[in-house]
Amino acid sequence: MRHDLRLSGRRRDAHQYAGNVTSGLVYHVRGLEKSYRGADRPANAGIDLDVPMGEVFGLLGPNGAGKTTLVRQLVGLARPDAGLVSLLGHDLVVDPAIAARLVSYLSQDEVALAELPVRRAIETTARLRGSRRSQAARLAGDLIDELGLAEVSAEPLVRLSGGQRRLACIASALAADRSVLILDEPTAGLDPVARRGVWAALRRRRDERGATIVLVTHNVVEAEAVLDRVAVLDGGRIIACDTPGRLKTAVDDSVRVELVWRADPPLHDPTVGVLARTAAVDGARWSLRLDRGQVRDVLERLTRGPIVDAIEDFSVSTPSLEDVYLALGGCHDDLERA
C-alpha cells in the first residue's frame, strides 16, 4: 500500500503486525526452494507450510531431508532461491532481520557459547535479545532452576557432558520470552529424564504463554509425544503433514514386529526366507511391518519347532511415525526410536 511507504519503521512494524496476527498463522510458507552449489538435488524443493499460533509443530525426517535448511529460512538466516516465507505477516524474503526480534532459535550446536560459563551464556543471549542486565540475570536464574542446571551454572559449556551442554543451550534459547521458538533437534543426546524435562518446559511455554513451537527431530518417540502436528520431510519435500494420530491411521492395518536372532538367521526355513525379503536389517535385529491378519500366523510358525531356538527376542508393536514415513515412500533408515 502506498500509505505504508510513509510510515516510520516502528509504526510500520506495528501496522504490519496488527494487520497479520489476525490471520492466526505464525508461519505461512509457499513454494519454498533452496539449493546449494555443487549439490545434486535441491535441499528444499517446493515446500508449502502453515503453522498456526500456539501449535507445537514438528519437522520429522532423516538426516539430509532438508529440515535444517528449512528452519534456517524460517529464522531469516538463509534466503530462499524462490518462494514466500511469511512470519506473523512479515515477509522474511524482503526483511529477514525481523525474524530475530520474533523468534528464539536453537541450532544443532551452539559452538559460539562453548567457552562461556552456563549462567553467562544464558545472560549474554538474553541481553543480545534486548533484555536489561537485571532482567537477564533473573531470567538466567529462573532457567537454571527450571532445567536443573544449578550444579553446573559456573562451568564453561565445553567442560560439560553432551547432555548437560545441550540443556544449557536450550536454556539460552529460552532466554527472553519470544512467542515463537524454533529448536533444531533440542533433545539429541539427552537422557530420557532430561528429555522429559525439556518437553515439559516447552509445553509450559505453549500452555501458559501461548508460544508457538517448531521442533526439528528425527526421533519418532519425541514426535509422537510432544507434537500437535508433524510434517514428514524426505528429499527436500514434505511427503505428509497432519497430526501424528491421523498420520498413523494410514498404516493402521499393519503391525511392527522386531526379531533379534541368537546367531545367523535360519534362512533355509520358508517363513524366515519370505520375511528376509522385506525385513530392515540392523545387525542381528530384523524390523518388519506386517498386516494384522498375517501376524498371528507368522508368529505361530516362528515360535513353533526348532526356529524358536534361534530367536533371542521378539516384540510386536502398533505402528509408529517411522512406519508412516516408510509407508509414504521414505527411503532412509536413520530415524531414532529411543
In the window 227-286, what residues touch another protein (CB under 8 A)?
228-229, 231, 237-243, 246
Closest CB to another protein among 76 and 265?
Answer: 76
Q: Pairing relation of β-strands 254-261 and 237-242?
A: unpaired
Helix ranges restricted to H, 87-161: 99-102, 118-128, 133-146
In the complex with another protein, the residue whose CB is nearer, 84 or 239, is 239
Query: How many residues bind another protein, per CB under 8 A?
Result: 73
Q: Side chain identity at 84, as an amino acid letter? A: L
Q: Tell me, what amino acid is at 12?
A: R
Question: Which C-beta is closer to another protein: that of 154 or that of 308?
Answer: 154
Closest approach, Cβ 3 to another protein, in A, equals: 20
**Contact between 103 and another protein (CB under 8 A)?**
yes
Q: Which is nearer to another protein, 95 or 258 (CB)?
A: 95
Q: Which of the stretches 112-120, 249-257, 275-283, 288-296 binds another protein when contact is defined by CB under 8 A? A: 112-120
98 binds another protein (CB under 8 A): yes
Q: Concatenate the DSSP letters of all residues of 151-202 into one string.
A: GGTTSBGGGS-HHHHHHHHHHHHHSS--SEEEEESTTTT--HHHHHHHHHHH
Give yes or no for residue 110 binding another protein (CB under 8 A). Answer: yes
Q: What type of residue is 142?
A: D
Cα separation, 87 vs 110, in Å, equals 24
Q: Does 79 bind another protein (CB under 8 A)?
A: yes
Q: Which stretch binds another protein (CB under 8 A): 91-99, 146-154, 259-267, 312-320?
A: 91-99
Between residues 228 and 336, which has the closer beta carbon with respect to another protein? 228
d(CA 307, CA 137): 64
Q: Which stretch binds another protein (CB under 8 A): 45-53, 248-256, 280-288, 300-308?
A: 45-53
The position carrying cell 519454498 is 32
User: CB atoms < 10 A from the CB of 176, how many?
Assistant: 18
Furthest-apart CA pair in the chain: how many Å? Answer: 84
> Which residue, chain included where needed, has cell 511427503?
239
Is 216 near another protein (CB under 8 A)? Answer: no
Which residue has cell 536464574? 141
Q: Is 54 in the site for another protein (CB under 8 A)?
A: yes
- Residue 277, classified by CB atoms within 10 Å of its CB into exposed (0-12), middle (13-18) or buried (19+), is exposed
Measured from the CB of residue 214, what is the shortest distance to another protein in angstroms? 11
CB 149 to another protein: min, Å: 17
User: Does position 101 bind another protein by CB under 8 A?
Assistant: yes
* Binding residues for another protein restricted to 160-199, rule: CB under 8 A: 176-180
CA gap 163, 7 in Å, rounded: 47
Angle at 147 between CA 144 and CA 149, to 5 degrees: 50
Contact between 211 and another protein (CB under 8 A)?
yes
- Using CB under 8 A as the binding rule, the residues of this chain from 14 to 43 that contact another protein are 14, 17, 21-22, 24-26, 29, 36
Q: In this complex, which beta carbon is closest to another protein, that of residue 109 or of residue 269?
A: 109
Q: Which amino acid is at 74?
A: L
Q: Is 154 in the site for another protein (CB under 8 A)?
A: no
Q: Interface with another protein includes 107 (CB under 8 A)? A: yes
